[in-house]
Amino acid sequence: MELSTIFLVLLGIFALIVLLITIGGWFEDVESDMGSQSNPNSQVQLAPQVGVLHRLFNKAIAGEPVTHGTNGVIGATLFTIFWWGFKWHPALAVAIAAALTMLFHMTLSTTAHVGRITSANIFGQPLYYDVILTQLPLIASHAFVLTSAFVAVSYLFYNLFFAAVDAVRLGGYLGYPIAIPLLGLVLGITAGAIGSSTGDVHYGAEREFQHALYGEGIPMGLHGHITVRAEVGYRMSMDVAYFCAKYGGPLSGFTYGMIILLDNFRLLAGNVLSNVVVNVAIGIAAAVTLILINRYLEVWARRKFGPYT
Amino acid sequence: MIDLLVMLIMVAVGGVLICAGVFFMPVGGAPAAMSTAAGIATGCEMMAAGSGITGLLMAAALYSQPSYIVMINAGISSGIMMCVTMLVANLIVVFGKGVPPALATADKDPVTKEYVRAYVTPGTVGHGVPTACFVSGFIGAFLGGVGGSLTFIPVLRVALSKALGQPIDLFGAIEGIEAWHNYVPFFVLAGICALAMYFINANIAAYSIRGVIEGWWDPKFKKLPKTALACFVASLVFSLLLLLLFSNEAFVKALSSLLQLGGG
């Protein structure tokens, strides 16, 4: 096979990895918004204490990174057993491993939600049976998608490192020599860190306080007074997901995909040109560009919105 | 023996760098998720681990390069992760909530020297990631990435040299070793040790930060020297455990038997 063909194969796998990571990051954020898992959960927990009763799902007993790291490591370990141990086809092994992880995640969500809500029972917060029944399948399906995405990427990264096409080692260009379970863990932790620092701002600052003025940060006096009424009837967590899946979720996925793209692109470029200086130069150029874009965005926002006084 | 002592010092210095990195990061915590405080809307440990992991993956991919190249590349990887995250967090704050990024612990932005107090919503302590926080975050993530690779590199190399029974330079390039399936446990060992270092040191730093810090101009930043000392001691204890592990004959025997497996 010609060297250019091998390079095209490499680029194809690279594109698949970035796509899978983007989808994984997107669903991770929507899943956490639906379960009010990350930082904004403090408001859901605080609401009954200030007299605001709600019908939101609250499964925040661990931070987002830890939960999805656990999901990733359970899924990736099961996958390794099925694929390496039982010699199943990888596609089948990914699906079965993600499905079993989903069962674990449903158990965690149910116990966490019941525990969280009953702890607020002293302030009059009821535990709604239908809230669990209607949200749980949605949470499970999102967990299935994100786990299968991260397990598939772990498999690709690991196998890419040891793969060879016509005696050309692909490991010299892409992939990591790290065991699949650990890759699942680290990809899950990173996804959680990104989801909670980007997408959850959309949920916490905008969707939870939709009755507050648009164009203002949320003053501390408003904390706990979350929006509990929806377009029709009382707000459920699926209404939150419906809203956040349009902006916060995709941007979280975009962030994760962008990070993997930039980071692996500079690894690939450095390895193809077999010069580490290229790695460093692309990295510094990317960082400076990002700082300048942020500066432009800041100036634009200040001109557009103006000062408060 | 010299290698083990050098590893001891490298891991301890790595802990101090991770601690300094956390102090530089604009950690906003839960209030930032509601646009009530400036910074990134997640805790210190998760931000340090999340950005550090990107650096660790890069360090694993470049394992055979000289140490300083691995460190710089791991730092830049962590920095890029942080920059992309902060930029998108700003996109959501600006277009999803309609507020301009502003910080509250200083009247003027320490980098651009602009007057920013007027843009802070009354009742909040800033929102979004302004330029000074952005630059501070990049520096913090870079330091964190370098600190993590300071654990990853010596642990991997000492484990390899013990298992192979031949000396491996802790600073230069590794030659003559091509990682195959049976080398993977060594990377896992080094990766888990580095991940543990992030959680240990970020947790200690989190006690001094107490939730929210904006950058190097924040009054809480003055606590850095004392916290760094605590991190140095904690990392030294951690690396002493590693030293005991590598001095254990049974463990070294188990490591070298891994290499006999062949794999595939």
* Structural domain boundaries enclosing B140: 2-260
Q: Residue A177 has which token pair?
A: 């020599």
Contact B131 A294 (CB under 8 A): yes
Number of folded domains in chain B? 1
A198/B85 Cβ within 8 A: yes
The minimum CA-CA distance between A259 and chain B, rounded to whole Å, is 6
Distance in angstroms (rounded) separating the CA atoms of residues A195 and A233: 29
Q: For residue B262, what pLDDT band results from cuts at 50, 70 and 90?
A: low
CB-side exposure of A110: number of CA atoms within 13 Å? 14
List the single residue in A with minimal CA-CA distance to B68: A276
| Helix pair angle (A90-119, A129-162), 10° resolution | 140
Cβ distance of A205 and B33 shorter than 8 Å:
yes
Q: Name the residue facing A308 among B47, B90, B121 (closest C-beta).
A: B121
Best interface-test mutation with A: which of B97, B133, B160, B199 has the largest number of A CBs within 10 A?
Answer: B97
Across residues B209-233, what is the average pLDDT? 89
pLDDT at position B66 over 50: yes
Q: How many CB pairs under 8 A join A and B?
A: 263
User: Helices (DSSP H) in chain A: which residue ranges?
Assistant: 3-34, 41-46, 64-80, 90-119, 129-162, 180-197, 199-201, 237-244, 248-272, 276-305
Average pLDDT over residues A156-180: 86
**Residues in chain A closer than 8 A to B191 (CB atoms):** 178, 182, 186
Work out the average pLDDT over A254-272. Answer: 90
The span from the CA of A262 to the CA of A271, in Å, is: 14
Give the C-alpha separation, B220 to B215, whole Å.
9
The 10s digit of each residue's pLDDT in A289-303 is 999 999 999 999 989
Using a 10 angstrom Cβ sphere, with 0-12 exposed, 13-18 middle and 19 or more buried, the burial of residue B244 is exposed
Report CA torsion sign: A193, A198, A203, A204: positive
Contact yes or no for A205 and B65 at CB 8 A: no
Which tokens belong to A228? 């509990």
Give dist(CA A156, CA A215) in Å, integer: 43
Best residue of A226, A251, A294, A300 to probe chain B, by most B CBs closer than 10 Å = A294
Residues of A in contact with B86 (CB under 8 A): 294
Residue A118 Cα, gap to closest chain B Cα (Å)? 22
Residue A40: which of B34, B49, B129 has the nearest Cβ? B34
At A39-50, the pLDDT tens digits run 888 888 889 999
Distances (CA, A) of A242 to A34, A230, A231, A245, B112: 9, 12, 12, 6, 39
A283 with B76: Cβ contact below 8 A: yes
Q: In chain A, where are the structural domains located?
A: 3-274
Show residues of chain B in contact with A155, CB under 8 Å: none
**Which pLDDT band holds residue A191 (cuts at 50, 70, 90)?**
very high
Chain B residues with CB inside 8 Å of A162's CB? 180-181
CB spacing of B95 vs A205 below 8 angstroms: no
> Across all residues in chain B, what is the average pLDDT?
88
Indicate if the pLDDT at residue A36 is higher than 50. Answer: yes
Task: Sort out which chain A residues have CB atoms less than 8 A from B179's CB and list them.
Answer: 161, 171, 177
Angstrom distances, CA of residue B133 to CA of A107, A143, B21, B106, B215: 39, 33, 13, 12, 6
Nearest CA to B124 among A204, A104, A99, A53? A204
Quick check: A280 and B72 CB within 8 A? yes
Alpha-carbon distance of B154 to B170, in angstroms, equals 6
Confidence (pLDDT) at A309: 64
* B44-49 mean pLDDT: 88
- Residue among A190, A204, A308 whose CB faces B119 most closely: A308
Cβ of residue A200 closer than 8 Å to a chain B Cβ: yes
Q: Which residues lie across from A55 on neighbouring strands?
A: A236
For B115, which DSSP code? B
Compute chain B's Rg from CA coordinates: 20
Q: Which of B22, B36, B42, B78 to mutate to test the interface with A (most CBs of A within 10 A)?
A: B42
Residue of A nearest to B138 (CA): A287
* Both tokens assigned to A180: 């699949």
Q: Is B42 within 8 Å of A196 when comparing Cβ atoms?
A: yes
Tokens of A162: 């040891």
Which pLDDT tens digit goes with each residue over A71-113? 999 999 999 999 999 999 999 999 999 999 999 999 999 999 9
The answer, yes or no, to whether residue B263 has pLDDT greater than 60, is no
pLDDT tens per residue, range A135-161: 999 999 999 999 999 999 999 999 988
Both tokens of residue B62? Answer: 């470049």
Is pLDDT at B238 greater than 80 in this prediction?
yes
Per-residue pLDDT reduced to its tens digit, B72-103: 999 999 999 999 999 999 999 999 888 999 88
pLDDT above 70 coverage of chain A, percent: 100
Query: What would the pLDDT profile of A12-27 be if each residue is shown by its tens digit?
Result: 999 999 999 999 999 9
Per-residue pLDDT at A222? 85
Interface test with chain A among B57, B125, B143, by most A beta carbons within 10 Å: B57
Q: Which of B85, B117, B233 is nearest to A256 (CA)?
A: B85
pLDDT tens profile B4-16: 888 899 999 999 9
Mean residue pLDDT across chain A: 90
Which tokens hold the place of A190?
Answer: 């990173």
Q: Whose structure tokens read 């200690």?
A: B204
Check residue A233 and give left, alpha or beta (phi > 0: left; psi -120 to 50: alpha). left
Q: What's CA A188's distance to the chain center, in Å?
A: 8
* Phi, psi torsion values for B163, nearest 5 degrees: -70, -40
Which of A200-204, A211-215, B24-28 shows the lowest per-residue confidence on average (mean pLDDT)? A211-215
